[in-house]
Structure 1
Amino acid sequence: MGVKVSVVVPVSEPGPDDDAFDACVRSLLEQTMPSDEYEVIFADDHSDDGTRERLDAVAAVRPNVRVLHLEHTGSPTRGRNVGLAVARGEYVYLLGRRDRLERVALEAMYHAAVETDADVLIGRLVRGDDPPSRAFSRNRERADLFRDRLLGLPTAHKLFRRAFLDTRDIRFPDIEPQMSEQAFVIKAYLTAKVVAVLADQVCCHMAPPQPPQSTPAEWATGLRAVLDVIDTHSDPGEQRERLYAHWFRTGVLRPLGGRRLANATPGRRAAMFSALRDLTLERFPPELDRHLPVHLRTRAMLLRSGQLGRLMALNEATTGTYLRAELRDVRWDESILTLDLAVEIVNAAGDPMTYESAGDRLLWTPPLAGLNLPPALADVTDAVAKARMEVYIRHTGNGLIFFIPVTGEVCRAEENGRVRVWAVGRARLDVGSAALGRPLRPGEWEVHVRMRGGTHQARTRVAGHKGAQLSCVGVLAGHPRKLVIPCWSEQRELSVYVEPKSFADSIVLVSAGATVTHRDGELFIALPVPYVPPSGGPATELLLRQATTRARTVTVPALVEPGVPGRFPGQLVAKFPLARIPSETHLTPGLWTPHLKVDAREHPLRFAMDLSRSRRARIRPTQDPTSLTRPPSALTRLLNHLPGGPQTLRALQKLRTRYLPPPQ
């Protein structure tokens, strides 16, 4: 049987301690596709850090691994081209040395490519906590360049039919590496008969993007090469304009915004501005600006007119925009978790973004004195009409991200000729189908919200407000049934945990919601219990350990009271006797860290308890209570700043050690 897939990986001195490269190699060797059906080609750019020897050692015991020893160029371009030239697979996949594949990636992508007869197949990509591209909202047998937003996937992490690349003479041009990759991909997009998308299987975990190391002149030259590819393989008209507008936005205007421009040296900043201005005047006419959001239209105007100083001032004035999200309610509708949200984009000062009302039109006002835009340039009416809220979940372990359905509306309010815009909506998380029709994997899933407004977009974690009662009741959901629990971080950020490992772990997840009361010389600690099984759960004890160098431990039995599944959590209650003098069975003033003890195993809880000398107890939520130590008292702080104070403190500590009973 012939080789089905060749994987080409350019390598350049990753170093012996590069964990990302090691993970990349392991992911390639552990594919579920039989080893005689795929090959791995490492194109080494004359690394002299031991990498060549390591790869040769792998190839010596793996018949499907080849290592190409190349002369040094400092660029992945030649390695990719040489790898393509010697590849034997029916399809070729291009991978970076810091990326890694899922075990089933090659097998899943190959089958999907054969079924759809694709020249190019894009397997689902994941990069950190970035929200997924809308291209991955579902599988697509015939993807469209614009409708399916393929331009948002410009990297070479794709499966290409090798005969298609050879027939079309698609290779990486010898230009700036990032632009070389984009020129390769856009030529493939424009000449392929079929581009397919595999969305329901994560295929590749991409490394964080690296800032370009090229000079401004090299970057501009690379952009010209990309535009030349577009000119060659597209006809004049709307499609070409939209392609040009995309690269104007991503290749010219974005590099001239944010911290990248502000942090550059004055010389590089001037060179970047000059090179990109020359390119803009040459290839990007003002007619393209209608495809841009208003803040980029303004940036383009300042670029064409040569106003670098005002461009930097505008960037500074617009920095700090963020999303304010209000979680109004979280509840279970049978087995579906429902979130009621209101979100709004605000500036760095926390003031809502507003627009000038001009009849039936809305105009954006730049936050820069003296910068007045003509109405046609400042008009954001159509963009505001498309404003929307999006909610997605992210697995904290593997980075998987999925959007969840949202219904709602965009609201407006006018005051003093200014219009404020925000969105309200209801998101519904169905654990049994949220992963593109499949159940969510076990583990913790963060909940994020994003809003696309008239001028900006922003995203944030979904968080509850201080003082709000936050539900942590769990339910059995999905098929087969799994316990699902809403839980809250120390910052009151919402996550959803699917299938905790044990009854104790389910309580740990929500233990930051603990409460404490003092009555008749005893302290009662109550913990929410997301779900109490019909059996009532195992025998449980609550253990408090004093956070001192000679920690005492007090352990008492705990009573578990059931709640109402899907409506109210249960409760675990433990009663501790109090005393002023340390003893084995009583609590004394100090900082205490709690543990849940089940089946002789201790589980640290997500809070600490500070007990004052007046017997007042205070709960301190924390994700790592075991690291806490008791804060110094006012007397300790005072003595530390007085002459002779430290010596007095040491004497007092010796007296306490000598005459008070030792901690148990």
Structure 2
Amino acid sequence: MGVKVSVVVPVSEPGPDDDAFDACVRSLLEQTMPSDEYEVIFADDRSGDGTRERLDAVAAVRPNVRVLHLEHTGTPARGRNVGLAVASGEYVYLLGQRDRLERVALETMYRAAVEADADVLIGRLVRGDDPPSRAFARNRERADLFRDRLLALPTAHKLFRRAFLDSREIRFPDIEPEMSEQAFVVKAYLTAKVVAVLADQVCCHLGRARPSEATPLARAAGVRAVLDVIDEYSDPGDQRDRLYAHWFRTGVLRPLGGRRLLSATVGRRAGLFAALRDLTLERFPPELDGHLPVHLRARALLLRSGQLGRLVALNEAATGTSLHAELRDVRWDESILTLDLAVEIVSSDGEPVTFAAAGDRLLWTPPLDDLTLPPALADVTEAVDKARIEVYIRHTGNGLIFFIPVTGEVCRSQENDRVRVWAVGRARLDVGSAALGRPLRAGEWEVHVRMHGGAQQARTRVAGHRGAQLSCVGVLAGHPRKLVIPCWSEQKELSVYVEPKSFADSIVLVSPGASVTHRDGEVFIVLPVPYVPPSGGPPAELVLRQATARARTITVPALVEPGVPGRFPGQLVAKVPVGRLPSEGHLTPGIWTPHLKIDAQESPLRFAIDLTRSRRARVRPTTDPTTLTPRPSPLTRLLSHLPGGHLTTRALQKLRTRYLPPPP
């Protein structure tokens, strides 16, 4: 049987301590596809850091690995082209030296490409905390360039039919590396008969991209090369205009916005502005601006008129725009977690972003006092009508991200001539199918929300509404059944934990919701218990340690009381006597860190108990007890105000530590 897939990896000076490159190599050698059905081609750009020898050593013991030793060019284009020329696979996958494949990636992508008879197949990509592209909303055997948002996936991380690339003479041009990739991909998009999307299997984890070192003129030349491809392989009309508008937005206006422009040196800023302005006047007529979001129309207006200073001022004024998302309610509907949200885009001062009312139209007001857009460019009525919120979850361990269904509406209110726009929505998390029809993996899943508000878009974590308390009730959900618990992070942000490792871990997750009550000289410490098994759970004890150099320890039994599954959490109650002076088994003034002890194993809880000298206890949220500072005694506070008092305090501390007996 012939080679099914060739993987081409351009390599340039990764260094002997580059963990990302090591992970890349391991991921290629550990594929589930049989080794005689795929090959790996490393195209080394004359690395002088020992990489060539390391790769040669791998190739010596792996027959399906080849190393090409090339002359140094400093760009990956030649390595990719040479790799494509010598590849023997039916399909070719292009990988970066800091990326890594899932073990099943080649086998799964090849099978999907053959079933769809695809010239190009795009396997699901993951990059750190970034939300996934909507192109991965579902599998597509016949993807559309615009409907399925393929332009949002411009990198070369795709499976290409090798005969298709050869017949269309698709290769990487020798231009700025980022634009070289985009020119290669857009030609493939425009000439392929079938482009397919594999969304339900993560295939590639993208490594951290290196900052571009291209000169402004090189970047402008790269954009021109992409536009030349568009001119050659598309007809004049709406499709070409939308393609041009996309590269105007990403290749020209985006580099001139936000922190990237503000952090550039004055000379580089002026050079970039001049090069991209010449390109804009040459290739991007004003008629394209209607395809842009309104804040980029303002940027385009200042670019064409040569107003660099005002463009910088516009960026400074717009910095800090963010999303405010509040969790109004969270509840279980059978085994589906339902979240009620209110979401609004706010400016840097925390005030809601509003629009000017002009009859039945809404106009965007630039955050720059002396900048006014013509009404035709400022009109955002249709964009506001299409405003929406999106909710997605992210696994804290492996970075997997999935969107979850949201229903809701966009709300408006008008005061004088300003219109405020926000959205309310209801998201439903089905643990059994949220991973594109599959159950969620075990672990912690953060809840994020993103809003497209007509003029801008922003994203954030979901937080509580005005200190709202989370029910913390857990249920058994999915198939097979797994315990699922909503919980707060230490930043009061919502997460959902799937399948805690133990009964103790489930309580630790929600322990920031602990409370205390007082009765007859005793403190009752109450912890929520997300789910109490029918057996009632194992015997438990609460261990409290005083946060001082001579820490005392108190251990008391804890009673677990069941709640109502799916409605109310259970609770763990521990009764602790309180005293003024240190004595065995009594809580005394100071800060105490609690631990849950089950089956002789202790688990630190995410709060502390602070007992005042009036013997009133309160809960202090914390995830790191070492950050707690014990309250100084009255004598210590008095000495701190006297000359030489700090020396006396240190002497007393040494005396107590060295010569006094340890506490019980």
* TM-score normalised to structure 2 length: 0.98
Contact 2:322-2:459 within 8 A present in 1 as well: yes
1:461-484 C-alpha deviation (Å, 9 max, x unpaired): 011134312110000111111110
Aligned twin of 1:94: 94
Aligned twin of 1:647: 647
Q: Distance in 2 between matches of 1:332 and 1:661?
A: 53
Contact 2:550-2:657 within 8 A present in 1 as well: no
2:337 counterpart of 1:317: no
- Trace 1:211-610 onto structure 2 (pairs within 5 A): 211-610=211-610
Q: Distance in 1 between matches of 2:35 and 2:160?
A: 19
Moved more, 47-56 or 239-248: 47-56
- Trace 1:109-258 onto structure 2 (pairs within 5 A): 109-258=109-258
1:314-367 C-alpha deviation (Å, 9 max, x unpaired): 111111000111111000011110001110000000111111100111111111
Aligned twin of 1:13: 13
Letter of the 2:125 counterpart: L
Deviation at 1:222, TM superposition (A): 0.5
Q: Distance in 2 between matches of 1:639 and 1:38?
A: 76
Moved more, 216-225 or 433-442: 433-442
Contact 2:7-2:41 within 8 A present in 1 as well: yes
| CA separation of 1:632 and 1:311: change in aligned 2, threshold 3 A | farther
| CA separation of 1:549 and 1:223: change in aligned 2, threshold 3 A | same
Aligned twin of 2:625: 625
Deviation at 1:661, TM superposition (A): 4.4
2:610 counterpart of 1:615: no
Q: Distance in 1 between matches of 2:45 and 2:38?
A: 23
| CA separation of 1:166 and 1:458: change in aligned 2, threshold 3 A | same
Q: Distance in 2 between matches of 1:462 and 1:162?
A: 45
Moved more, 341-350 or 576-585: 576-585
| CA separation of 1:26 and 1:634: change in aligned 2, threshold 3 A | farther
Q: Distance in 2 between matches of 1:234 and 1:400?
A: 36
Q: Distance in 2 between matches of 1:466 and 1:651?
A: 47
SS in 2 for 1:504: helix
1:557-590 C-alpha deviation (Å, 9 max, x unpaired): 1100000000000000111122333334222222
2:41 counterpart of 1:41: yes
Letter of the 2:19 counterpart: D
Letter of the 1:297 counterpart: R
Letter of the 2:157 counterpart: H
Q: Distance in 2 between matches of 1:224 and 1:470?
A: 54
Q: Distance in 2 between matches of 1:583 and 1:107?
A: 67
Deviation at 1:549, TM superposition (A): 3.0
Q: Distance in 1 between matches of 2:622 and 2:40?
A: 46
SS in 2 for 1:510: helix
Q: Distance in 2 between matches of 1:284 and 1:103?
A: 44
SS in 1 for 2:255: coil
Contact 2:396-2:444 within 8 A present in 1 as well: yes
Deviation at 1:655, TM superposition (A): 4.6
Deviation at 1:606, TM superposition (A): 0.9
Name structure 1 gaps, 5 residues minimum: none
Letter of the 1:646 counterpart: H
Q: Distance in 2 between matches of 1:356 and 1:163?
A: 55
| CA separation of 1:228 and 1:640: change in aligned 2, threshold 3 A | farther
Q: Distance in 2 between matches of 1:259 and 1:632?
A: 45
Letter of the 1:125 counterpart: L
The sequence identity of aligned pairs, in percent, is 85
Contact 1:546-1:590 within 8 A present in 2 as well: yes
SS in 1 for 2:135: helix
1:426-448 C-alpha deviation (Å, 9 max, x unpaired): 11111111111111111111000
Deviation at 1:76, TM superposition (A): 1.0
Deviation at 1:628, TM superposition (A): 3.5
Letter of the 2:504 counterpart: A
Aligned length: 664
Q: Distance in 1 between matches of 2:500 and 2:246?
A: 44
1:496-542 C-alpha deviation (Å, 9 max, x unpaired): 11111111111011011111122222221111000000000111111
Contact 1:179-1:222 within 8 A present in 2 as well: yes
Moved over 3 A (4+): 626-629, 631-643, 654-661
Letter of the 1:257 counterpart: G
Name structure 2 gaps, 5 residues minimum: none
| CA separation of 1:208 and 1:658: change in aligned 2, threshold 3 A | closer
Q: Distance in 1 between matches of 2:546 and 2:31?
A: 49
SS in 2 for 1:255: helix
Deviation at 1:64, TM superposition (A): 1.1
Q: Distance in 1 between matches of 2:119 and 2:636?
A: 73
Deviation at 1:637, TM superposition (A): 6.4
SS in 2 for 1:254: helix
Q: What is the alpha-carbon root mean square deviation over aligned residues?
A: 1.4
Contact 2:314-2:367 within 8 A present in 1 as well: yes
